[in-house]
Amino acid sequence: MEAKIVEPKAPTTSSLFLDFWKTFSSNRVAVVGLVMLIVIILVAIFAEQLARYDITTSADITSKDIYQPPSEEHWFGTDDAGKDVYSNFVFGARVSLTVGFFAAFISIFVGGLMGIVAGFYGGRVENFLMRLTDIMLVIPDLPLLIVIVAMTRPSLMNIIFVIGLLGWTTTSRIVRSQTLAVKSRKFVLRARAIGAGNMHIIRHHILPLVLPLLVVNAILVISLAILNESTLAFLGLSDPTRLSWGQMLNFAFGRGAMSAGAWWALVVPGLGIVWVVLALTLLGHGLEQVLNPRLEFHHLMPGRPVVQREAGNVHSFAEEIHPVLLEVQDLSIHYVTEDQPPARAVENVSFTLHEGELLGLVGESGCGKTTLMLGLLRLLPAAGQIVGGQVDFMGKDITAMSEQELLDVRWNGISIIFQGAMNALNPVRTVGDQIKEAIVKHVALLPGDKVDERVVELLDLVGIAADHKDHYPHQYSGGMRQRAMIAMALACNPQVVIADEPTTALDVMIQAQILELLDELRKKLGLSIIFVTHDLGVVAEMCDSVLVMYGGVMAEYSDVDTIYNSAQHPYTQELLKAFPDLSKPEKRLASIPGYPPRLDNLPTGCRFAPRCPRAIERCHTEVPDLHILDKNHVASCHLVEA
Amino acid sequence: MTQEFFLEVQNLKKYFVAGNPSLFSRVVKHVHAVDDVSLELERGEVIALVGESGCGKSTLALTLMGLEKSTDGKIIFEGIDITHADDKAQKLLRQRIQMVFQDPYESLNPTQTIEEIVGEPLVVHKIGVTADERRARVVQALEDAGLKPADIYMRRYPHELSGGQRQRVVIAGALVLEPHLLLADEPVSMLDVSIRAEILNLLADLRISRQISIIFITHDLGTVGYFADRVAVMYLGRIVEIGKMRDVLENPQHPYTRALLSVIPVPNPRLRRERVILQGETPNPIDLPRGCRFHPRCPIATEECQLTDPPYIEISPKHQAACLKTQKVS
Amino acid sequence: MKRQQYLIRKISWAFFTIIFVLILNFFLFRILPGDPARSGIHDPRLKKEAVEAIRVRYGLDKPVINCIAKINPVEFGGCLINPMDTQFFIYVGNLLKGEMGISYHTNRPVSEILVERIWNTILLIGAGQILAIIFGVIFGIFAAWKARTTIDYVALLSSLLAWSLPTFWLGIILLFWGSNHGLPIGGKATPGMSSMPWEDQWIDIFRHMLLPTLTYTIVFMGEYMLIMRSSLLDVLSEDYILTAKAKGLSTFQILKDHALKNAMLPLVTIIAINLGFTVAGALQIETVFSWPGLGYTIFESVNRRDFPVLQGTFLLIAVSVILANLIVDLTYSYLDPRVQAES
């Protein structure tokens, strides 16, 4: 079958720079900084036009003119020599900025070159250059600057060179570490694999990715250079005939502006320095946010309130034999951001979990399974919001619980094993400590040694030797860390354990060990487990029931045998066809063309319709209901309607 | 050896120096990443290289590419010994051997357009006299990789494409030089299940249309079950079993292969299998066990296994296993 | 054992850097023009014996070091001479004895002057840094916790502003305001205070310290707040915070037991990197407020061309910063368990 023509994701701007500009101009801090900078640069450029008096002559100046307060003739008053502070100020801008920019240029050039050479070529060269940088970093720079400048002629050129030649250290470090980081990225390996030489790689791969950081650092270096120049001038080490702002302050301070009460002579030049440095700082800070966007939200931000809404069409799989532990009814979760349509991550999901049951939650990237799991315990990120439905756990509705009740039910009633345990454990605390924490929180009044006993017991349960409890996560291997996560999850004897892709990053043999462990523990402790995964093989081996999700909604839900042998939803069927089966190795794998829908721009009608091989007209316009096919089998598809 | 193979690897070894030896340590330890690997490949053949992390499969690929210098052994490609090829020869070699990497999100430079990425090999090797000529070749490669019409992709950036599309770009980038051998290092493991087959089918089709040989490296045997001709199982730097796909799958002889096959989950709830779950983890390749490297974890190891490093025993034509307990099929 | 290796490496590196600074210090003052002792020699009015006497007095008749007799301009000399008889090793020898020369201006031994003054600088820096760290950390935590709210924006902008103020200028402004409101305009103590009871003396010192310390605190608090905020923001986005939340820990518990320690680590590193700025700040503040510390000493000695004092002070400052860096490095290795794993 001819592959469908699939458009790239979304029409976007055709240039990286325009992309960048769009983000940049929406960052207020950066824009303000840029504007402030442009203003002062213009002042420096047009100093002649802007000045009101000729600052080079002393003609027409008498002793009466010294330290005159601001007035109509002298907007910023006069200085110790009777000259107009405003005019000195605009020319001072030129001097301060020129020295600052040129000195910074030298620093950036030297530092950048050193950084790239050190980072790229490594070995002895890198060692030497970095040791040199380390030494220069440790030596305090202002005293050194002062010493050198003091012992040479006070000229602006000198100052430019000295500041420049001592200011490369931060640039060198940053450029080197960025070069190292880029060098180890796969696309550089690919470039080598196609036969590119060093120069090509530096030019096409290293430089474009080092440049943004270099620019941010450059801004810092410029502001430091300007501050350094002002300080040196203030200390009397600059050329007294070229009035930079620092030099103006040197004269004012040293020539009695304070005792004369001439605050203008002290405030105005300083404000100039503050203006420029603040402009650069804002610009730098904003740029950094644009180039290195931090995650918008952190885990401790207050969440959104739950929207209570009557549960709609719900089908409950209640069995008489095993009591129901967890019943999710018509749960919907959206991600809400300002001035954008909400991402409807989970909609109208219902399922039932019985005691001792292992439910497999299957779906691919973007199907909402992790959001669903986090929602069960109200651990959604700040933008997430439960907009409808209920989560009944042991008779109480989690969506309606207070903060205190939530703290009790978490871990104690329902615990989670996260994916990729590397960062799921705090790297600076021992593993034993972190398990202990969970026990202490929920099991009241247990004496210290009993808690330690319990920790050892738990580790033993998952096959980790007792002495490992005082080790740190980085000392555990990948498989061991996952076991430790399991041990921790069982610490408070929960009824339900949610395992979110617990073996995805592990080798197949370690995966088998972990799965076997989970199965044993389930039988031993009578646990119920919700197992989130994309691996249909694992689900077939382990699970009792299966919930297949697509694009945030339930596609199909039934027991494992039905799903694998008489699936009704086209997505389930296609997914099974796409999954390799070692018992039938000649089976040609099918694929589903296209990609999952964007949750903030969903198609009308069935979410799977654009990719469905059996879609009819109706599928594109009308959202399918959840059809009950059997006592224990539901599917949301128009085609299964009896 | 009268028959000339397309690719012949003889006793290849690649060792790395372990850690940072200080001035005071006399003994330098080595990571035996690839430890005596021999392999033959014919033109147009697909061989799957299977193993868990740390088995050396990726290092083997990098060494074959020349991105790592081998410590010992020989690599003979299209009749020429390329083991110690100099820089110039290496560069020419790049046109014949290409690599497809695992991570479609990282293999592409985010500041380059698709056209620049796919065209880069042409620029590096100075192929194509005019920009138009190069452009035409880029378009051809993109379309062969299934990105039709190529025009809508040329000016895009990687972040605008989906995972599957990106992997196709990576493949197009490998195809543009018209290589004879493709080393695919886990090309689909980071893609969604429903998209994997597309890429696998693409590779299968390319093998036929362009007569490319493929060494397919993966930890997931299931994905190549149907288009690999042969499979080689690696453990701690050595090939422990190699043979035709059907033979190895139906009659695995090495205990490691057996264990591996028994634990790979099969999407069939009615199938209850005897699973051989090995205990512990793969030991580090620095201090290799004496004798057979697998014996510490082997369910059927005996004293003999602790003393002798097993040679390859032929089970049937083209099917060999390095295990003392192997039965030779007459 | 790995930690031992780490410690040894760090200590030997600090030692090596100090040697480097020593050498730099020595040669800097020999290379750069401007030392009256030597420039004075070129005065054509001086008689030959007087020139010779000056040279002997300042030890300038000896070769600089083996193989090099003079540096400015470069003149080579004998290589097999006794190194102990060269200017460089005499200098080093003297340093080890605690002698740093005699001040041109006051004729007092440099080491005496420095010992007096170093405590004043430590007093000022100590008070300022402690306050800056305390306030910076508190505000930083608060800003990160309440990220993206008005409180955060206000805190962020004020920190950026504080960082942009030139230290000496802030000092001037505060001094101007302070002196109009009864605070002393400089120095450490009012003249004549030394005869008063010591509680009064300390109150007097406190009044003199108020503005300089305030200046110091404002400038550094801004930076520490920014670092703490961004570090805590990073930490609070990590997976283990979600795990802690899933365990049922309250926000306060999570901040206390999981977030803070991790967030403080980068701050410790920054304090180390900042030691140079710390000195620069102290230098400016002491100059503006005439606070008799090491920074003021540098300023004074530059103005008076008192090179032995300048050279001695620079060396002391540089060595102090190197040692302080070392202490912070070592402390960090105890705080972060991952450090031992690096080889």
Query: How does pLDDT run across A174-190, given as a tens digit for each residue?
Result: 999 999 999 999 999 99
Sign of CA dihedral C328, C330, C335, C336: positive
**Both tokens of residue C164?**
């942009």
Examine the pLDDT at A642 and tell me if it is beyond 80: no
The count of domains in chain A is 1
Contact A340, A528 (CB under 8 A): no
Q: What is the mean pLDDT of residues A527-556?
A: 93
Tell me whether residue A173 is in a domain. Answer: yes
Its pTM stands at 0.86
Q: What is the mean pLDDT of residues A200-220?
A: 92
| Helix ranges (DSSP H) in C193-238 | 198-236
* Average pLDDT over all residues of chain B: 88
Tell me whether residue B262 is in a domain. Answer: yes
Cβ of A442 and C299 within 8 Å?
Answer: no
d(CA C262, CA B117): 40
Chain A positions touching C241 (Cβ under 8 A) are 298-300
Query: How does pLDDT run across A442-488, given as a tens digit for each residue?
Result: 887 778 888 999 999 999 999 899 889 999 998 888 888 999 999 99
Tell me whether residue A442 is in a domain. Answer: no
Full residue range of the structural domain in which residue B146 is found: 7-18+28-321
Cis omega (within 30 of 0) on the bond before C73?
yes
Query: How does pLDDT run across A405-419, given as a tens digit for each residue?
Result: 999 999 999 999 988
Tell me whether residue B330 is in a domain. Answer: no
The minimum CA-CA distance between B166 and chain A, rounded to whole Å, is: 10
Tell me whether residue B161 is in a domain. Answer: yes
Instruction: Please tell me if residue A224 touches chain B, with a CB cutoff of 8 Å.
Output: no
Nearest residue to A560 via CA among A538, A575, A590: A538
Nearest residue to A41 via CA among A97, A104, A88: A97
Q: What was the pLDDT predicted at C42?
A: 60
Tell me whether residue B133 is in a domain. Answer: yes
Contact B184, B214 (CB under 8 A): yes
Query: How does pLDDT run across B236-270, given as a tens digit for each residue?
Result: 999 999 999 989 998 999 999 999 999 988 888 88
| Residues β-bridged to residue B321 | B241, B313
Query: What pLDDT band is residue C39 in, cutting at 50, 70 and 90?
Result: low
Cβ of C246 and A231 within 8 Å?
Answer: no
Q: Name, in order, each residue with C-beta under 8 angstroms of C274's C-beta and a sequence gap of 6 or more.
A: C220, C223
Cβ of A585 and B245 within 8 Å?
Answer: yes
Q: Indicate which CATH number applies to the domain containing B271.
A: 3.40.50.300
Chain C positions touching B20 (Cβ under 8 A) are 343
Instruction: Please tell me if residue C343 touches chain B, with a CB cutoff of 8 Å.
Output: yes
Query: How does pLDDT run across A586-607, given as a tens digit for each residue?
Result: 777 888 888 888 888 888 899 9
Q: Name, in order, each residue with C-beta under 8 angstroms of C3's C-beta and a sequence gap of 6 or more.
A: C333, C339, C340
Examine the pLDDT at A558 and tell me if it is beyond 60: yes
DSSP state, C81? Answer: S
Tell me whether residue A62 is in a domain. Answer: no
Length of chain A: 642
d(CA A399, CA A409): 12
Q: What was the pLDDT predicted at A320?
A: 63
Tell me whether residue A252 is in a domain. Answer: yes
Chain A positions touching C319 (Cβ under 8 A) are none
Q: Are strands B319-321 and B313-316 parallel, antiparallel or unpaired?
A: antiparallel
Q: What is the mean pLDDT of residues C54-71?
A: 73
Instruction: Please tell me if residue A452 touches chain C, with a CB cutoff of 8 Å.
Output: no
Instruction: Please tell me if residue A437 touches chain C, with a CB cutoff of 8 Å.
Output: yes
Full residue range of the structural domain in which residue A20 is found: 16-52+85-295
Give me the percent of chain B exceeding a pLDDT of 90.
Answer: 42
Contact B58, B99 (CB under 8 A): no
Residues 407-436 of A with CB under 8 A from C: 407-412, 415-416, 418, 420, 423-429
Tell me whether residue A104 is in a domain. Answer: yes
Instruction: Please tell me if residue A6 touches chain B, with a CB cutoff of 8 Å.
Output: yes
Interface probe with A: pick from C169, C297, C328, most Cβ of A within 10 Å: C169
Query: How does pLDDT run across A609-622, given as a tens digit for each residue?
Result: 999 999 899 999 99
Instruction: Please tell me if residue C4 touches chain B, with a CB cutoff of 8 Å.
Output: no
Chain A positions touching C273 (Cβ under 8 A) are 137
Which residue of chain A is at minimal alpha-carbon distance from C168?
Answer: A231
Cβ of A379 and C242 within 8 Å?
Answer: yes
Examine the pLDDT at C325 and tell me if it is beyond 70: yes
Q: What is the mean pLDDT of residues C153-168?
A: 90
d(CA A176, CA A119): 5
Examine the pLDDT at C109 and tell me if it is beyond 80: yes
Instruction: Please tell me if residue A110 touches chain C, with a CB cutoff of 8 Å.
Output: no
What type of residue is A49?
Q
The minimum CA-CA distance between A394 and chain C, rounded to whole Å, is: 18
Which residue of chain B is at minimal alpha-carbon distance from A560?
Answer: B269
pLDDT higher at B213 or A478: B213
In the sheet that A343-354 helps form, which strands lie side by side, from edge to edge?
Answer: A343-354, A324-335, A384-393, A396-397
Q: What is the mean pLDDT of residues C168-192?
A: 84
Tell me whether residue B56 is in a domain. Answer: yes
A vs C: CB pairs below 8 A: 225
Q: What was the pLDDT predicted at A6?
A: 45
Which has the minimum average pLDDT: A98-102, A541-545, A582-586? A582-586
The minimum CA-CA distance between C146 and chain A, rounded to whole Å, is: 7
Query: What pLDDT band is residue B173 in, cutting at 50, 70 and 90?
Result: very high
Query: How does pLDDT run across C123-157, given as a tens digit for each residue?
Result: 999 999 999 999 999 999 988 888 878 888 888 88
Examine the pLDDT at A376 and tell me if it is beyond 90: yes
Nearest residue to B119 via CA among A153, B130, B310: B130
The count of domains in chain B is 1
Examine the pLDDT at B20 and tell me if it is beyond 70: no
Q: Are strands C68-70 and C75-76 parallel, antiparallel or unpaired?
A: antiparallel
Tell me whether residue B52 is in a domain. Answer: yes
Q: Using CB atoms, which residue from A142, A151, A249 is nearest to C169?
A: A249
Chain C positions touching B22 (Cβ under 8 A) are 5
d(CA C195, CA C212): 24
The minimum CA-CA distance between C342 and chain B, rounded to whole Å, is: 10
d(CA A421, CA A425): 6
Q: What was the pLDDT predicted at C96?
A: 83
Q: Indicate which CATH number applies to the domain containing A101.
A: 1.10.3720.10
Instruction: Please tell me if residue A267 touches chain C, with a CB cutoff of 8 Å.
Output: yes
Q: What is the mean pLDDT of residues B4-16?
A: 88
Alpha-carbon distances of C168 from A227, A229, A266, C209, C287, rounded to whole Å: 10, 12, 11, 15, 8
Query: What pLDDT band is residue B1 in, cutting at 50, 70 and 90?
Result: very low
**A589 conformational bin, left if phi > 0, alpha if psi -120 to 50, beta if neither:** beta
Examine the pLDDT at C63 and tell me if it is beyond 60: yes
Radius of gyration of chain A (CA): 34
Q: What is the mean pLDDT of residues C302-327?
A: 88
Number of H helices and E strands in chain A, helices first, is 23, 12
What type of residue is A524?
K
Alpha-carbon distances of A392 from A324, A325, C269, C279, rounded to whole Å: 10, 8, 48, 62
Query: What pLDDT band is residue A311 in, cutting at 50, 70 and 90?
Result: low
Chain B positions touching A479 (Cβ under 8 A) are 281
Contact A588, B204 (CB under 8 A): no
Contact A288, A116 (CB under 8 A): no
Tell me whether residue B1 is in a domain. Answer: no
Query: What pLDDT band is residue A11 in, cutting at 50, 70 and 90?
Result: very low
Query: How does pLDDT run across A252-275, given as a tens digit for each residue?
Result: 998 888 888 888 889 999 999 999
Which residue of chain A is at minimal alpha-carbon distance from B96?
Answer: A194
d(CA B230, CA B228): 6
Crossing angle (nearest 10°) for helices A169-183 and A85-121: 40
What type of residue is A95?
V
Which residue of chain A is at minimal alpha-carbon distance from B123?
Answer: A196
Examine the pLDDT at A507 and tell me if it is beyond 80: yes
d(CA A289, CA A286): 5
The gap from C-alpha C46 to its chain's centroid, in whole angstroms, comes to: 41
Examine the pLDDT at C40 and tell me if it is beyond 60: no
**Both tokens of residue B5?**
């193979």
What type of residue is A33?
G
pLDDT higher at C150 or A334: A334
The minimum CA-CA distance between B120 and chain A, rounded to whole Å, is: 8
Q: What was the pLDDT predicted at A3?
A: 36
Q: Which of A338-342, A503-507, B213-217, C190-194 has the highest mean pLDDT?
A: B213-217
In the sheet that B213-218 helps form, which strands lie side by side, from edge to edge?
Answer: B97-100, B181-185, B213-218, B46-50, B230-235, B238-244, B319-321, B313-316
Contact A445, A422 (CB under 8 A): no
Length of chain C: 343
Contact B212, B179 (CB under 8 A): yes
Cβ of B225 and A586 within 8 Å?
Answer: yes
Q: What was the pLDDT predicted at A36?
A: 94
Alpha-carbon distances of C17 from A134, A165, A198, C24, C320, rounded to whole Å: 9, 19, 33, 10, 12
What type of residue is A103?
A
Query: How does pLDDT run across A25-81, given as a tens digit for each residue?
Result: 888 889 999 999 999 999 999 988 888 888 777 777 777 778 888 888 888 888 888
DSSP for A399-458, please give it: GG--HHHHHHHBTTTEEEE-SSTTTTS-TTS-HHHHHHHHHHHHSTT--HHHHHHHHHHH
End-to-end CA distance of chain A: 30
Q: What was the pLDDT predicted at A371?
A: 93
State residue B313 phi and psi, 5-degree precision.
-110, 130
Q: What was the pLDDT predicted at B41?
A: 92
Which residue of chain C is at minimal alpha-carbon distance from B19?
Answer: C343
Q: What is the mean pLDDT of residues B56-74?
A: 91
Q: What was the pLDDT predicted at B2?
A: 42
Chains that touch B (3 or more CB pairs under 8 A): A, C
Which has the minimum average pLDDT: A184-188, A510-514, C66-70? C66-70
Tell me whether residue B2 is in a domain. Answer: no
Cβ of A205 and B109 within 8 Å?
Answer: yes
Sort C197 into a burial class: Cβ within 10 Å, 0-12 / 13-18 / 19+. Answer: exposed
